[in-house]
Amino acid sequence: MSDIPNDTAKTDEAQTPVSLSGMVSTLVPVLITSAIYLAVFLVLRKSNRRYYAPRTYLGSLRENERSPSLSSGLFSWFKDFWKIPDVYALQHQSLDAYLYLRYLRMAFTICFVGCCITWPVLFPVNATGGNKLQQLDILTYGNIHRDTQYSRYYAHVFIGWIFFGFVMYLIMRECIFYINLRQAFLLSPLYSQRISSRTVLFTAVPEPYLDEQKLRKIFGTSVKNVWITSETKEVDELVKERDKVALRLEKAEVKLIKLANKIRRKAMSKGAVDDIDQQATLDAESGSIAARWVPRKKRPTHRLGPLGLIGKKVDTIDWCREELMRLIPEAEAAQHKYREGAFKKVPGVFIEFKTQADAEGAAQILAHHQGLHMTPKYIGIRPSEIVWSSLAIPWWQRVVRRYAVYAFITAMIVFWAIPVGVVGIISNVNFLETISFLTWLKKIPSVIMGVVTGLLPSVALSILMSLVPVVIRICAKLAGEPSLSRVELFTQNAYFAFQVIQVFLVATVASSATAVAKKIADNPGSVTSLLAENLPKSSNFYISYFIVQGLSIATSVLTQVVGFFIFNLVYKFLASTPRAMYAKWANLSAISWGSTLPVYTNIVVIAIAYATIAPLMLGWAALAMGLFYLAWRYNVLFVTDTQIDTRGLIYPRAIKQLYTGIYLAEICMIGLFGASVAPGPLVLMVIFLIFTILFHISMNSALNPLMYNLPLDLLAEEEGPLLDTPTDLHAAENGHGGGPTNGNSPTTYTEKVPTNGTNGAQSRAEDPILGAKEASDASKHQPNHTTGKKPNFLIKFLKPWIYSDYHALRAFLPKGVQLDPYAAEVERDAYCPPSVTSDVPLLWIPNDANGAGVSRQEVEHTSRAIPITDEGCELDEKGHLVWDQEGTRPPIWEEKIYY
């Protein structure tokens, strides 16, 4: 984010009019850069399918999660790409992925419709305002002469009413759409059958209630399983040490095999090889086959001291085998000890209920008679997302931590201008040469000075900006957020505040955060006039910002040139073991919701704030958001995967944050009308500000409860038929009772999610794109189940509670898909800490049967200490690791469990 306008040196430029040629001078180099990025993408996409289209074939994805392959032509692929509807992401990836694309599309819609509303009226009104401004400034509010053209201000008022009213209605409409889609998604069989949908996390549970019998007494017969967490420090340390030693052993084994074969190849080139000795018995002395090629002193070794730099030097393979024979039993004993309840319990409890309705009811009721006890409660948390350290935080400490984190983040946001200001000074270091004690700067060569003033500030600013979300995520965990999804939502809020204050407000007033605070403290009534005075002057700067964001950054998001080279560098040169190669190859990159959405939300906020002051901004914002939508659409459909599931909560949070832009626009318009001594427009805008506040409050009051909870009427409608099905024999056999379950019977639906990911039945129709397209079209053109009429576009837009209701949006969801019943062991350990359920890792080394034959003996001897295999990967004649990247699953592959 080196292009974010934080440094004061750049914002000073916005204080003087910038000509049309100035905008063009920004546009031309950015266009050239974007063209280069796009050309690189078009060329690399054809030959690097793993990086630019891994979702089309990767073996780690199930069949129903993959995307269709695109044409290999240079440009013909775009037609196929455009045919895939956005709802495909919902059906084959996640709710978050689909809503992420929808948000970018809505952001483009707001800016585009804003152009259609403001340009036909405000461009001629501003251009003929008579204030004699020049070039781009004639299109802004400032070109209206306040003494002779007073009546023109009413155009800004009423156009503002129309545009702001449209944005508010769109926000409300999208919130209703989200609520109905979320209900349809969470109540669909594919999601409602998951354990996480029926499990509630209770935090701050009092010690007397850390007892399964008491908890069952409170919640009654609807409770199915209870997991009371305990301290895991001892188990964590032993399992961590066990895995560390195991992976060190694996790395050493691979190194030994490679070294033996390398020396053998050299000997073969000299004709000095007799392969008879390869047939040495496997139960001979440890390392005897490798010893033919590798002398004892060249075997892998390490030191036992700190950082491996000092201490006794030992043979890595022999030492690791001995350590594992000690650590594995100790770790298993600690895990058994945890299951027996021998460790101190912590105030975090997971309770699985028999039905989704029971879980929702438990999450919405008051569980304890004292304040801040057994609350907050969370439903839908997946085991892989749990921040286990947060569960041990008592209620009083959670309160203190949260306020301390709020204070720290507030201070960080306010004073972040200081390091950014230092970067700005570095970029203008040439001007410091005239200061007496800095004259030595003149002696620095111009080439070095160019790097210091050009490249260094950009890199420094990029690093500074990238650190902000990292720091916020750490703060979220310290504040006690219990899951990674909650951490992302916390980050989304805090980072948005940072973006608005630092990237927009501080840059707009062209001063550091402390200077702004001092002016406001000296004269609190000057807040509006401060913003109103600086907003028109800095509009040209943000045009350049949107050009850079929309063209350069959007194409770099698509191309990801840096990531491409890092991926290939790591995979080809730094991944030295089969495990490392598989992990790099099979794991897809993920989108960080909390740090990407606030950037785009802030762009729309800036565009809304400038909509009536400098309408040209909306055009460039629409271009930027349109290109971001296309870039991320490709990435979501073909490149990225969802690792953190917020159950769609990123969407309403982002869409409602757009109210910030509306409030800023209205307040600034009031300030401008006040500075222009225009009481009529001022009163009208104050009236609309009051209307906005009342509308906002009413919308939140009506819709917020529906955003976070599921209604009982729909739960009864969906679960009623399932509760009438025969008893789940599997559950009865495993001691879960004979009561009704949440539809986990394999007979509920005819089609299942494939368990092997390679030859299972498809979960949709034969053509998944056609299925997604039909689902999307059905919601648009099918007669409504209530009215029986086919809606036109306008009616459908204006009445989402009828034409985008729960029953209509069910067409979006995958049909005929169900999860396989959970194995008894999986269900038992679902919400146990990962260190408690962690199995001994299987070591994976390459087979060199066609070479030195070392791997057979190493497998034989190492397996006495830890499981090991040399299947699925071979060492070729050049010493390279070779494994089947597209076909069979490697030995260390583990099937993904949908919790």
pLDDT at 222 over 60: yes
**Region for residue 311 given its phi and psi (left: phi exceeds 0; alpha: psi -120 to 50; beta: otherwise):** left
- Position with higher pLDDT, 244 vs 516: 244
Among 76-80, 178-182, 498-502, name the most confident range: 178-182
Q: Which is higher by pLDDT, 174 or 134?
A: 174
Q: Is the CB of residue 227 less than 8 Å from the CB of residue 381?
A: no
Model pLDDT, residue 72: 84
For residues 739 and 750, what is the distance between their CA atoms, to the nearest angstrom?
23
pLDDT tens readout for residues 274-292: 554 445 555 566 667 888 8
Mean pLDDT score, 786-793: 69
pLDDT of residue 893: 87
Nearest to 603 by CA among 628, 627, 616, 621: 621
pLDDT per residue as tens digits for the range 412-463:
988 887 777 666 566 555 555 555 555 666 666 666 665 565 556 656 666 7
Cα–Cα distance for residue pair 527/671, rounded to 1 Å: 9
124-150 mean pLDDT: 80
The answer, yes or no, to whether residue 326 has pLDDT greater than 90, is: yes
Q: What is the pLDDT of residues 50-74, one digit of tens each?
A: 889 999 988 888 888 889 998 888 8
666-715 pLDDT tens trace: 998 998 888 777 899 999 999 999 999 999 999 999 999 999 888 888 88
DSSP reduced 3-state for 898: coil
Question: Parallel, antiparallel, or unpaired for β 843-844 and 377-379?
Answer: unpaired
Q: What is the pLDDT of residue 794?
A: 83
**Torsions phi, psi for 205 (to 5 deg):** -80, 125
**Residue that wins the pLDDT comparison between 462 and 215:** 215
* CB neighbours of residue 168 within 10 Å: 18
Rounded to whole angstroms, the Cα distance separating 621 from 212 reads 56
- Asked if 367 and 202 touch (Cβ cutoff 8 Å), the reply is yes
How many percent of the chain have pLDDT more than 70? 79
Whether pLDDT at 1 is above 50:
no
Residue pLDDT, tens place only, 734-765: 444 433 333 333 333 333 443 333 333 344 44
Residue 843: its H or E element: strand 843-844
Identify the pLDDT of residue 275: 52
Long-range contacts for 718-727 (Cβ within 8 Å, ≥24 apart)?
A: 718/187, 718/192, 719/192, 719/355, 719/356, 719/357, 719/743, 722/748, 723/355
Structure confidence at residue 483 (pLDDT): 96
Q: In this predicted structure, which of 538-552, 619-633, 793-807 has the lowest mean pLDDT?
A: 538-552
Give residue 747's pLDDT. 30
Cis peptide before 383 (omega within 30 of 0): no
Q: Are the C-beta atoms of 215 and 351 separated by less than 8 Å?
A: yes
Phi, psi (rounded to 5 degrees) for 125: -60, -45
- pLDDT per residue over 25-54, tens digit each? 778 888 898 999 999 999 988 888 888 999
Per-residue pLDDT tens for 345-359? Answer: 999 999 999 999 999
d(CA 66, CA 63): 6
pLDDT at position 738: 36
Query: 828: part of which helix (H) or strand (E)?
Result: helix 824-828
Chain segment 542-582, per-residue pLDDT in tens: 787 888 888 888 888 888 888 888 888 888 778 889 999 99
d(CA 302, CA 308): 6
State the Cα–Cα distance between residues 323 and 248, nearest whole angstrom: 11
Contact 379, 359 (CB under 8 A): yes
> What does the pLDDT read at residue 877?
84
Q: Please indicate whether residue 414 or residue 85 has the higher confidence score (pLDDT).
A: 85
Residue 203's DSSP bridge partners are 348
**Structure confidence at residue 257 (pLDDT):** 93
- Between the two ends of the chain, the Cα-to-Cα distance in Å is 36
pLDDT score at 293: 87
pLDDT at 725 over 70: no
Output the DSSP codes for 122-188: HHHHHHTSBS---GGGGGSGGGB-TTT-GGGHHHHHHHHHHHHHHHHHHHHHHHHHHHHHHHHHHTS
On the CB side of 686, CA atoms within 13 Å amount to: 10
Mean pLDDT across the chain, nearest whole number?
Answer: 82
The residue type at 477: K
| Cα 879 to Cα 38: distance, rounded to the nearest angstrom | 36
What b/e string do you get for 46-55 counting C-beta neighbours within 10 Å, with b at 16 or more? Answer: eeebebbbbb
**Torsion, Cα of 695, 696, 699, 701 (10° steps):** -110
pLDDT at 439: 63
Does residue 661 carry a pLDDT above 90? yes
Q: Is 604 exposed, middle or buried (0-12, 13-18, 19+ CB in 10 A)?
A: buried
Q: Which of 483, 528, 531, 478 is nearest to 507 (CA)?
A: 531
Average pLDDT over residues 782-792: 65
Question: pLDDT at position 591, please?
Answer: 92
Q: Does the pLDDT of residue 469 top 90, yes or no?
A: yes
The CA distances from residue 238 to 7, 235, 343, 838, 842, in Å, are: 49, 5, 15, 11, 17
